[in-house]
Structure 1
Amino acid sequence: MIVVAAFSPSLDTAYVVDDLVLGHPHRPSFVRRVAGGKALNMARAASALGAEVTAVPVLGGHIGELVAELLRADGVAAVPVPDDVTTRVCVSIGSDATGDLTEVYEHAVPVSVVVVDAVLAALRAALVPGAWLSVSGSMPPGVGDDLVPRLAELARASSSRFALDTHGEPLRRLLAAGTAVDLLKINREEARAALGAPADAALGSLVDGLRVRTRGAVVVTDGAAGSLAADDTGRWSVALPTTAGDHPVGSGDSFLGALVAGLDAGRPLAQALAAATGAGAANAEVPGAAVFDADRAREIADLVRVEPA
């Protein structure tokens, strides 16, 4: 079982236009709206691959109601926590002519102490021993820098496992405190910044530095170059089997959703990495975040090379 904390959800709208020209009106050839934000993208991806998922999103206003409706339509179980502030909207516009992607993302809305406490209570009620608590994305204003350690402690107190994909000050504080994390998945730049490493730091040194501090499995992604991961069984290098698609929004979230779904199903890290890479690549083939075809993701996963590093 996977329980997903979503402090900064959004209504994500993806447009595709023939050719995006600033200052001109456009009629999109394709429109897709989903319950978005990194956490809900992750939840949808894991659910699409057969995992049992419960999302706990902070939702407000008529936009929040639409996000809850879209979650239900996608078959994702949710325990919404109401908020007085309207849920944000994020837009991505893909150009068929150039393949370029233009993104306009509203800032995360502030979250009050009362709402944070309500989310923590809902997470506590949903978690069972052996489950995963997944936290991803940046932390919204108002929650304090101690929220991520509190979530890690909540997972530990519930005999659950903690999966984290975040960056910036919350991650640096977590690493400095030596808080245990069962699975940390971030990209190269986020890892470099968190460790204060030089720009040319080797991927292996970043993975090792994070492992020392979290004492759990670590995955550092590196765009088209693939990823490097390590756990108690060894270190694994992952190579992408295909070129990247034109719609990468949500690919990292799809990767995390498939990764945690695989680990939740009892698969070893190497197998879960192949499934995660397949999901991320399949997501990039179609507009919209974490709306990939599950069969296509499995097809790509069969081509992924995961080798001891």
Structure 2
Amino acid sequence: MITTITLNAAIDKLYRLETFQPGKVNRVSSCAATAGGKGLNVSRAVALLGEPVLATGFCGGHSGAFLKELLSQDQISSSFVPIAGETRTCINLIDGTGTSTELLEPGAPVDEDDLQRFNVHFDALLQETQLTVFSGSLPCGCPEDFYAWLIRCAHNRGVRTILDASGGALAKGIAAKPYLIKPNLEELEVLTGTSIHSKKDAAREAVKLHESGIACVVISLGKEGALLACKEGVFEGTPPDVPVKNTVGCGDSMVAAFAVAIARNYSAEAALQLALSVSSANAMCEKTGFFHLDDLAAILCKGQVNRLG
């Protein structure tokens, strides 16, 4: 089973409108709500790919109850640690030109008691977990090294880990040597303290991170695809050309594909090919962190994966 950890979960609301004009009344033409937070986007994609998945993290209040209801509708099992505060709501506004504007609430704070209860809960879940995915921001009150602590707990149980975070949570987290990380170029620059001007620069830094003890280093290149540095070599993946409806959640779907590929012992090339296809199928769908299996089947293996020298 794959377990996803979303410590700062959210209700994601997608609003579509013809035009977005700051300072004026804006009428929404359609809206949709999903259980959000990066880890829950990962959960949906893992489930669609046919792997057992369990979602955990913190949630609370009426929004927290709604979040669990939305996950149930997506046929995703969940086991959250309750907190006193209300689960946050995040809004994505997409206008007629396809421009996206996101409004992200900070989330309810957690305290030492919440963190201790989560530690106990997480340790119990590790008994039946094959791989854990840590995604997204940390709630207020959560120390920056909390992911690192949880990753070490997972490693002590022989469970592989994926970390998809940014800022201090990523910098502290990689000290625990997760099995896979997926920074984008901006996050890579912050993480390494270097300026990235080309794919060659990015590949060089990815190799350094791999050699530091991280088995798989994936560098997200947005619409240009991704790089992968691992023991099998360094690979560049270019995604298939698809009609784009919504790019929010594409990175999370890519993480989900890598999680499934690791669980199924795919080769590096096959893992990257699946990740490119799933991410692209996500972009073809309006729903955040979602894709249609027919779309995936139509584009599967149409991306290009090349080994770099």
**Under a length normalisation based on structure 1, what TM-score does the superposition of the two structures give?**
0.93
SS in 1 for 2:33: strand
Which amino acid counterpart does residue 60 of structure 1 have in structure 2? G
Per-residue deviation at 1:22?
3.0
5 Å-filtered alignment, 1:254-269, equals: 254-269=253-268
- Does structure 1 residue 183 correspond to structure 2 residue 200? no
Q: Which runs of 4+ in 1 moved over 4 A?
A: none
Distance 1:226 1:99 in 2: 20
Aligned-partner Cα distance in 2 for 1:129–1:292: 27
* Distance across 2 between alignment mates of 1:220 and 1:171: 14
Q: Residue 186 of structure 1: SS of its match in structure 2? A: coil
Of 231-240 and 17-26, deviating more is 17-26
In structure 1, the partner of 2:248 is 249
1:52 and 2:52 aligned:
yes
Equivalent pair of 1:187/1:220 in contact (CA under 8 Å): yes
Q: How big is the shift at 1:145? A: 2.2
Which one is further off, 299-308 or 185-194? 299-308
Paired position in structure 2 for 1:151:
150
C-alpha distance in 2 between matches for 1:294 and 1:22:
37
Q: What's the CA shift for 1:280?
A: 1.4
What does residue 14 of structure 1 align with?
14
Secondary structure of 2:291's aligned partner:
coil
State the distance in 2 between where 1:223 and 1:258 align. Answer: 16
1:36 paired to 2:36:
yes
Residue 19 of structure 1: how far off its partner (Å): 2.4
Q: Letter of the aligned partner of 2:80 in structure 1? A: P
Partner of 1:193: 190
Name whichever of 152-161 and 101-110 sits farther off. 101-110
In 2, distance between residues paired with 1:306 and 1:225?
A: 12
Greater mean alpha carbon deviation, residues 284-293 or residues 217-226: 284-293
Q: Distance in 2 between matches of 1:112 and 1:294?
A: 41
Check whether the contact 1:128–1:160 (CA below 8 A) recurs between aligned residues.
no
Q: Secondary structure at the match of 1:127?
A: helix
Provide the residue aligned with 1:91 in structure 2: 91
Q: Deviations over 1:259-302 (max 9, x none)?
A: 11122122222212112111211212222311211231232232
Tell me what 1:77 maps to.
Answer: 77
Asked whether the equivalents of residues 275 and 297 of structure 1 are also in contact (C-alpha less than 8 Å), the reply is: no
Unaligned runs of 5+ in 2: none
Displacement after TM superposition at 1:129 (Å): 6.8
Structure 1 window deviating more from structure 2 (50-59 vs 125-134): it is 125-134
Q: Residue deviations 1:144-184, cap 9 Å, x none?
A: 12212111111111111011111111222344x4x322111
CA deviation map 1:76-115 (0-9, x unaligned): 110011110100000111112x121111111133222222
Could you tell which deviates more after superposition, 273-282 or 58-67? 273-282
Query: TM-score normalised to the size of structure 2?
Result: 0.93
- Amino acid corresponding to residue 196 of structure 1 in structure 2: G
Q: What's the CA shift for 1:240?
A: 1.5
How many residues are treated as equivalent by the alignment?
306
Identical residues among aligned pairs (%): 28
Paired with 1:212 and 1:24, the residues of 2 have a C-alpha distance of 52
Q: Is residue 40–residue 55 contact of structure 1 (8 Å, CA) maintained in 2?
A: yes
Tell me which amino acid in the other structure corresponds to 2:285. V
Matched-pair contact (CA < 8 Å) for 2:285–2:292: no
2:19·2:95 contact (CA, 8 Å) conserved in 1?
yes
Q: RMSD value over aligned CA atoms?
A: 1.7
Change (3 A) 1:298 1:258: farther
Q: Tell me which amino acid in the other structure corresponds to 1:190.
A: E
- Structure 1, unaligned runs of 5 or more: none
